[in-house]
Structure formats: C-alpha cells, structure tokens
Amino acid sequence: MVSVEVQFAALTDVGRQREHNEDNFLVDKKIGLFVVCDGMGGHAAGEVASALAVRTLHEELRKEADLIRDYIEQKGGGARVSKRDITNLLEFAANRASSRVHAEAMKDAKKRGMGTTLVALLLAGGQAFILWVGDSRVYHLRQGAISQVTEDHNVHNELIKRKKMSREQIEKLAQKNAITRAVGVYEHVEPETLVVDVVAGDRFLLCSDGLSGYYEEDLEGLGRTLSNPDADAAVRELIEHANELGGKDNITGVVVTAGDLSARDESGAQQLQLKRDMLARMPLFRPLAERELLRVLQVTDVIAYGHGETVISEGEKGEELFIVLSGHAKVWRGGAELATFGPGDHFGEMALVRSQPRSATVIAEGNSEMMVIRRGEFFEILRKEHQLAVKLLWQFLGVLADRLADTSRELGEVKEELAAEDITHEIFDEDDDDDNRRTLVIPPPTAAG
C-alpha cells in the first residue's frame, strides 16, 4: 500500500545496565507502518505498557486499511481522504492505546502509573505521517543531510516554550529530561503529528532515547552511520556505539528507506526544497523554525495551471493564499493589466484570515504551478499550535501595518499634489496693472446739424 518500495532494518538491545528490555517495536510493510515504544514502570510494567501500545496502535490502523488505501489512490468524491483524515486516524489510535494501557494499569496495583513513549511512521501516498508522544524520536536523512523531525515532550522543551526560565537556568535542572507526555499514564494523551513529503532515497530512523541520547552532541556522526547503504549494518553500528558508550538504557532502532538509498530522486528533492525555500522567504513565514515550516508545508498543495487559465476572479470570495512556484501569472482589474507575478511572488494572503471578495483577477501566463494554502487547514494549525499561532498572527499584524503605511504614504502624495499652489492667475491675470495693452474707444456717430 506504499507508493514506493520500502526497505527496513530493525534491532533492539537490553543495553549494559538494565535487566529487562522494556522497548518494543513493530514493522508492517503491508500498510507501511513502523513503530517504536519505550516503556516505563516498575516490576516490568514498562514492557507490558510498550507491548500493549504497539499492538493497539497496529490494530486500529489495520481496521482502517481501506482508508489508507483510498488516500494512496487519491480517490475522489465521497471516497476522498485528506492528510487531515490520516493524522486524525493516527491521533485516535494513540488515544486508544493510551486508554488500553491505562485500563490495564488500573487492574493491577503493581502496574499503576505505567506508561510508554510512542513514535510511529506511516508511509502513504508519497508522504511520511509521523506520530509521537514522549522522547522517542524520528530522524530524517536526505541527500546526506540529517535532521531531527520530532521534538521531545520533556521538561526542558516545555519550559523553553513557556519562557518561564532562561535557557541557562533550564540546563541546570536535574529533571530537565523528564518526559511530560506518555501513553497510558492517563486515559487520554496529546500526541503530535507531522507530515513530511518523501522522495526516493529518503531514510528515516525511529529510535528510543537509549540510542538518541548518545548522539545528542554528534548529529553529524549519526548522519554518517545512517548513510551506509546497508541498513542492517547501519542499525547494528548504532546500537553497538550506544553500548560502547555505556548502554545505560534499552536501545532500539528502526531504519526505514524509501526506495534505494543509492538511487536518490535528485529532481524530486530539489522540488521539495524549492517549496520550502519559497515559503521561508515570504514575510508571513520568515520567522518560523524548521519544524514550524514543516507544519505549514503539510497543508500546502501544488496546483498546475495551463496558459490562460484563471487562478482567481475579481469579486469572488477567496479562501486561499497562492505562491507562484513556476511560470508566471498576470493581474487584471476592471479590464486593465496591473502586474505580472513570477516565481516566489504571492497573492491572496488576507484570504487566510477573512473571507472577502477578491480585488483582482489573476490569470496564468504559460504553464504555471502554484502552491496553495487554504484557510480551513491553516486555521487547524493555529488551533493546535499555539506558539506557531502567535508568531503567524504577529506577522499578519506586520503585513497589515506595512500595507497601512503604504496606503498612508500614497494618500499623502495625492494630498500634496492636490494642495499644490495654483499659479494660473499669475500667468493670465486680466487685472494686472502692468498690462501694456491699450484699448481704443470709438465714440458713436452724432446726428448732422
């Protein structure tokens, strides 16, 4: 059910200091699902929690295999499945897992408080749908460059987001790495999701903190190891390295490769990078961090337009922001051509915050591609991502302030022109005393005699 051939390698190890392995992982190539969980709790309860979470998540996604298939096949009409539908499915499955683990803990006093981290990757329709709770991680390797996709749910990151303490103060906290979210500790959980476009040659690593903790200061080294075309050798080396440095926790790694690592889709990767760069250059999105840009990109579609095709029409209600990815488009108002948009130009941004008639018509000039962001999906991000929402709303205020300043300046220039001194009378003054023209008055003729 995955749109590209997927290869994987997976390995787990108890480490050097633990008696039990409380990590669990799952691989289901048929639906493109990969999961890693890191359990916690006394009396081997962590192992129970992680195993139950993995199994429940898998069961819930298998129930909806047809939904995933419809998304991959891009079914239309009533069968249409959106990215939001898939992320909702993942979030629901995580909450079902949390409910099951919590219920199991309530049956046995020795298991009270047990829980587990969870990180999952679902490859479907050219996208990687990523779900996580806690501090297990996903890394992404593309063209030799590696990045951490997930953000740990721990005290350190929560305090940074809330800006309650300085970074220096947070770094000194003994419990800074304590996780703030876990599956099963409570009946419900707040998972995070992210969607990443995938091209052939992309590689992902899902791992527990028993592995990632040893690469915290060596992301480059992690990237080098993951770049090994032999995925089995790569995951073995990662676990051996963690054990050599102490192996203080259970260690699990799952390496997932879309297609063949040595047969990269360079063109596709460049196209995705172009989308990212154009979004990042826009004033509205310029202050966003990399993960926040990914949030916006996951609600961005690309639409192709033929020569002469109308993109938007003057007077119609709008709900999309457009960014020219390739080609050109001309702007018309009242039958008059106003401007030409080229790659990187954007229009319609105010439609993201309010529904109002379009002020002009935009028509494609030649074959063009437009990135499109719709208001409904944009608002979904704002509702879920409070920190991101604050940044975007501040940027909207900045855009409005710039427009108001431009309008005020233009009005001022017009006012100056209207108030300019009229010197016409100085040129053509009929009462001018220095006028040297003379008038001859001829008296009327008188009667004879």
Take residue 281 and report the two structure tokens written for it: 């250059």
Beta bridge partners of 34: 27, 121
| Residue 429 one-letter amino acid | D
CB 172 within 8 A of CB 99: no
Which pLDDT score is estimated for 219?
95
CA distance from start to end of the chain: 128
CA 15-20-21 angle, to 5 degrees, is 60
- Nearest Cα to Cα of residue 196 among 131, 247, 246, 245: 131
- Nearest Cα to Cα of residue 226 among 128, 130, 146: 146
351 vs 338: CA distance, rounded Å: 20
Give residue 77's Cα distance to chain centre.
26
Which pLDDT score is estimated for 417?
66
How many CA atoms does the CB half-sphere of 90 hold within 13 Å? 29
Which pLDDT score is estimated for 2?
44
Which pLDDT score is estimated for 423?
52
Give 109: exposed, middle or buried? Use CB within 10 Å, 0-12, 13-18, 19+. Answer: exposed
Which pLDDT score is estimated for 443?
58
Which pLDDT score is estimated for 61?
97
User: Which domains, from first to last, does the chain contain?
Assistant: 6-263 (3.60.40.10), 270-399 (2.60.120.10)
Which pLDDT score is estimated for 444?
58
Mapping DSSP to helix (H, G, I), strand (E, B) and coil, where does residue 7 land? strand
Residue 234 to residues 26, 140, 146, 228, 323: CA-CA distances in angstroms?
18, 14, 14, 6, 40
210 vs 252: CA distance, rounded Å: 7
The ranges of the chain with pLDDT < 50 are: 1-2, 427, 430, 435-441, 448-449
Take residue 335 and report the two structure tokens written for it: 């039958």
Which pLDDT score is estimated for 408?
79
Mapping DSSP to helix (H, G, I), strand (E, B) and coil, where does residue 10 land? strand
Q: What is the pLDDT of residues 278-310, one digit of tens each?
A: 888 888 888 888 888 888 888 888 899 999 999
Which pLDDT score is estimated for 420?
60
Residue 107 to residues 61, 183, 436: CA-CA distances in angstroms?
26, 17, 117
Mapping DSSP to helix (H, G, I), strand (E, B) and coil, where does residue 77 land? helix
Q: What is the pLDDT of residues 408-434, one digit of tens each?
A: 776 776 676 666 655 555 545 545 555
